[in-house]
Amino acid sequence: MPMGAKLLAAIEALKKTPWVVLALLLASAIGALAQFSGATKTLVELVRPHATDPRAELARLGIPFTPAAMMNAVDDGDARAVGLLLDAGMSAEASPDQTQSPLMLAAKSGRLDLARRLRDAGANPAKFVDGASLYDPGGTPLDHAARQHHSDVVRLLLERPLPGPAIASALSAAADSGDVASVKLLVPHLVDRRAAVTAAIHSLVAGSGMNSRGPALATLAALGSDLDTIDANGLGLLHIAVNNDATTVLSGLLKAGANPDARAFCAHESNPFMATPLICAATRGTSAGLAGVQALIAAHADVDAREPGGATALMLAAGNGDPDITAALLKAGADATLRDAKGRTPLDYVRTARFHDPEATRALLTRAAAPHRS
């Protein structure tokens, strides 16, 4: 017999005894208990959260279930829409084209919450996507986070193992943007530290506005790198800095131990030739090259080093009719009597000068060569 039936039978039996009052009290208690249980059940039903159908919620909000909607939600920073799209089955890599990805947009804008949600849903921080334009370059989400100085996003994306090339690429992006914080985060994850740091320094030195990136250069140089390597175009770091008039970077490289007499192409020449940075700087002109010449002289560069045709920095400065660089070289001890492979001296070079101030340059060279004639 069920427990409830037994209980009712017991109450009926009690009614026929002097214990009828006790039976009535027991019956009242059972009724109250039943009412409380029913009320509790109703209350639980009211407060229990009902599972939301993400697709129905998207429809209610007027958000289509499309890759374009995902990109728009990330671009708008709409965490709710991104979450609903992912919960509804949208891929974390969904994109209407190949020029961007949801995680790339989140990394670029520094949206840490969206970056975490997309990464946890399977988005790949090391996935390369093509850039939309020259001003919106391609790269991985990790690259974009470093490029935009979002070191908190970089830290997040590094929480899981990533391929070595992706780490090295992001290091170059961080160096190119001058993001010291991201540089420090990325370095411990490098596989080949020396090669990656060297490549990052080349990226920094070759970038625009490099003079503002002195702290990043100093950080990288202190990690150990080959500052005298020549890139695929035959350019050395010092030569690139000279060619870009980046005196701050040039001085930083010299201070870090770059060889002031390393030979590479003078990139600004129409017919590049292998020469020292000082020779390249001497051909830049007064305003552009003087600071570079002075920095190299201060680093004890060989002032009488020659290019393949036997010309020295002094000869090339004379050929430009450049009195300021000529004076700086003479003060540093450059020999005004040396001859190139064709037997020409600096005075011979100044005779054909067409720029700057040939007369002032000739006067300087004449005085410097005079003691050797007497």
For position 341, which CATH number holds? 1.25.40.20
Residues 249 and 371 reside in one and the same domain: yes
Total domains in the chain come to 2
Hey, which residues does 265 pair with through a beta bridge?
A: 274
Lookup result for tokens 């470093």: 146
Three-class SS state of 190:
coil
The alpha carbon of 340 is separated from its chain's Cα centroid by a whole number of angstroms, namely 46
Same-domain check for residues 164 and 248: no
* 27 — pLDDT class (breaks 50, 70, 90): very low
Question: Quick one: pLDDT band at residue 135, thresholds 50, 70, 90?
Answer: low
Do 238 and 315 lie in a common domain?
Answer: yes
Asked which of 192, 226, 260 is the last residue of a domain, the reply is: 226
Taking 60 as the threshold, does the pLDDT of residue 348 lie above it? yes
Closest by CA to 350, choosing from 339, 340, 360, is: 360
Q: Are 99 and 113 in contact (CB under 8 A)?
A: no
Same domain, 178 and 298: no
pLDDT in tens, 97-128: 888 899 999 999 999 999 999 999 999 999 99
Mark whether 240 and 194 lie in a shared domain. no
CB count in 10 Å sphere of residue 75: 16
Same structural domain, 245 and 366: yes
**Residue after which a domain boundary falls, among 195, 226, 257:** 226
Minimal CA–CA distance to 317: which of 258, 261, 250, 368?
368
Q: Please check whether residues 303 and 199 belong to one and the same domain.
A: no
CA separation, residue 372 to residues 219, 304, 332, 368 (Å): 48, 17, 17, 8
Question: 36 in a domain, yes or no?
Answer: no
Task: Examine the domain organization and report whether 298 and 237 are in the same domain.
Answer: yes
Among residues 192, 211, 226, the one where a domain terminates is 226
Its domain, for residue 313, covers 229-374
Q: How would residue 43 be classed by pLDDT, with cut points 50, 70 and 90?
A: very low
- E strands present in the chain: 264-265, 274-275
- Residue 189 predicted with pLDDT over 50: yes
334 and 256 within one domain: yes
Tell me what the pLDDT averaged over the chain comes to: 84
Q: Is residue 110 assigned to a domain? A: no
CA distance 334 to 346: 11
pLDDT category at 268 given cuts 50, 70, 90 is: low
201 in any annotated domain? yes
Tokens 């970077």: give the residue.
249
Residue 174 lies in a domain: yes
Structure tokens at 190: 């490098």
- Bridge partners (DSSP) listed for residue 133: 136
Q: Quickly count: other Cβ atoms within 10 Å of residue 213's Cβ.
A: 24
In this structure, the answer to whether residues 330 and 363 fall within a common structural domain is: yes
**Do the domain assignments include residue 86?**
no
Residue 182's pLDDT is what? Answer: 95
Cα three-residue angle 123-127-129, rounded to 5 degrees: 115
d(CA 114, CA 78): 8
Query: What share of the chain has pLDDT > 70, as a percent?
Result: 81
> Looking at the domain assignment, is residue 176 inside a domain?
yes
Q: Is the pTM of this model over 0.85?
A: no
Is 339 contained in some domain? yes
Separation between Cα atoms, residue 62 and residue 9, nearest integer Å = 61
pLDDT for residue 45: 44
In a domain, 6, yes or no: no
Q: Are residues 220 and 305 in the same domain?
A: no
- Buried-exposed string 113-124: b where 16+ CB fall within 10 A, e elsewhere: ebbebbbebebb
On whether both 234 and 351 belong to a single domain, the answer is yes
In the numeric block, which tokens belong to residue 349?
């070079």
